[in-house]
């Protein structure tokens, strides 16, 4: 067991994946000598060579599109897209090609491609560097969409993503890159990639979130304890497919649910979960499902991002409302 930052846990996971399978190749902008803009691939090109850790031209469709060709050839490409706001030039290749190739070819051609996307706000950056585009991808059948929240999950999930025969859009909570935690590199006992995890058990309210807000939710649960409210925090880990049973099991116990994410509310992951819980737990609900999310606006200038981002107080406000304490 080693203590690692979340970023270093991914670095370690990628290194171990490169070591374990010589068909794994990394593609991305500045991932070689620089080690990526967040240094997640630091040292990997030096260790594995320029044909395994490939500095690409600055073209996201090119990165994803050539990864499709490499996958056709039997490689297992891992693409790094620098920021959440820069995924869209590659979006067409992801949605029309990566996601559909297995289906289109009736299983003959698999696309074991991992697409890494640092996402979310809270780092005081400029426009297009703080977004949460996960719902666009989660809406697309054929993709697995996951978000890690801790160094251990960062390590385990990147290993599982690279090993998956399905394409995985792998969201990394960039403002948690430097948070530390113990990491075990034996992944034989870790939960599968499509399973949610109960991070804090509780009995009064189910608080569902993922990525950067998991730590916020854990803090909220601790704070609520002082007020005598028991929050069960669920880290979704997989946004698509969704681990519905884990959420339903919790709501059957608590009768209340708050869903939190940084992404805008309309058509978001929270809307899907609220609908699903309403369909499956209607009789058990003692309050309407409630979403604590970003507003339905473009991501604001960073000096104002605190007004946009759900934080601990907004989560507790949501918990109070489903508890009937506030309206």
Partner 1 sequence: MSATNDRFATSAGLSAATVQVLTEDGRFEPTDAAAEYLPYLDSLTDDDFRRFYRDMVVVRGFDTEATNLQRQGQLALWPPSSGQEAAQVGSAYAAKPQDTIFPSYREHVVATIRGVDPLDIIRVMRGVTNSGWDPTDPKNGNVRVYTLVLGTQALHATGYAMGVKFDGKAGTGSAQSDEAVIVYFGDGASSEGDVSEAFVFAGSYQTPQVFFLQNNQWAISVPVKTQSRTPLYLRSSGFGIPGVQVDGNDVLASYAVTAKQLDEARAGHGPSLIEAVTYRMGAHTTSDDPTRYRTSDEDEHWRGRDPIARMRAFLTGRGVGGEWFDAIDEEAADYSADIRRRTLELVAPAAELIFDHVYSEPHAGMAEQRAWLERYERSFEADVPAGSTTSTQGGAA
The residues assigned a catalytic role are 129
Residue 248 beta carbon to partner 1: minimum distance, rounded to whole angstroms:
11
286 touches 256 (CB < 8 A): yes
What residues make contact with partner 1 under the rule CB under 8 A? 25, 51, 54, 56-57, 59, 61-62, 64-75, 77, 89, 92-93, 96-97, 100, 102-110, 141-142, 144, 164-166, 194, 241-242, 244-245
Range 286-295 burial, b when 16+ CB lie within 10 A, else e: eeebbbbbbe
**70 vs 257, beta carbon nearer partner 1:** 70
The minimum distance between CB 194 and partner 1, in angstroms, equals 6
How many C-beta atoms lie closer than 10 Å to residue 317's C-beta? 17
> Cα separation of 43 and 327, whole Å?
52
* Residues 76, 161, 80: CA angle, nearest 5 degrees: 65
Closer to partner 1 by Cβ: residue 109 or 325: 109
Q: How far is the CB of 76 from partner 1 (least distance, A)?
A: 11
- Measured from the CB of residue 69, what is the shortest distance to partner 1 in angstroms? 2
Please choose, from the candidates 316, 260, 289, the residue with its C-alpha nearest in 3D space to the C-alpha of residue 120.
Answer: 260
**Residue closer to partner 1, measured from CB, 72 or 178:** 72
Name which of 99 and 264 has its Cβ closer to partner 1: 99
- Cα–Cα distance, 104 to 324 (Å, whole number): 49
Task: Say how far apart CA 125 and CA 4 lie, in whole Å.
Answer: 25
């Amino acid at each position: 067991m080693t203590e690692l930052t979340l970023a270093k846990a991914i670095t370690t996971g990628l290194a171990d994946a490169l070591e374990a399978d010589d068909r794994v190749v990394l593609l991305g902008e500045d991932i070689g000598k620089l080690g990526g803009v967040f240094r997640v691939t630091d040292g990997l090109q030096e260790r594995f060579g320029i044909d395994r850790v490939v500095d690409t031209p600055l073209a996201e469709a090119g990165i994803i599109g050539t990864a499709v060709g490499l996958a056709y050839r039997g490689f297992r490409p891992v693409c790094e897209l620098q920021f959440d706001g820069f995924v869209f030039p590659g979006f067409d290749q992801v949605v029309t090609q990566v996601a559909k190739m297995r289906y289109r070819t009736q299983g003959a051609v698999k696309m074991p491609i991992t697409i890494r996307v640092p996402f979310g706000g809270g780092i005081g950056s400029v426009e297009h560097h703080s977004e949460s585009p996960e719902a666009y991808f989660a809406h697309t059948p054929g993709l697995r969409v996951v978000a890690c929240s801790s160094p251990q999950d960062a390590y385990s999930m990147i290993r599982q993503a690279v090993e998956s025969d399905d394409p995985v859009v792998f969201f990394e909570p960039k403002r948690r890159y430097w948070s530390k935690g113990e990491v075990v590199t034996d992944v034989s006992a870790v939960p599968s990639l499509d399973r949610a995890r109960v991070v804090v058990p509780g009995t009064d309210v189910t608080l569902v979130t993922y990525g950067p807000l998991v730590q916020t939710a854990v803090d909220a649960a601790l704070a609520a304890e002082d007020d005598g409210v028991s929050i069960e925090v669920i880290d979704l880990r997989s946004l698509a497919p969704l681990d519905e049973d884990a959420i339903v099991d919790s709501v059957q116990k608590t009768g209340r649910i708050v869903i939190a994410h940084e992404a805008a509310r309309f058509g978001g992951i929270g809307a899907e979960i609220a609908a699903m819980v309403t369909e499956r737990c209607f009789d058990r609900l003692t309050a309407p499902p409630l979403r604590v999310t970003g507003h339905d606006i473009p991501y604001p200038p960073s000096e104002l991002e605190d007004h946009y981002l759900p934080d601990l107080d907004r989560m507790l406000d949501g918990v109070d409302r489903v508890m009937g304490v506030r309206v």
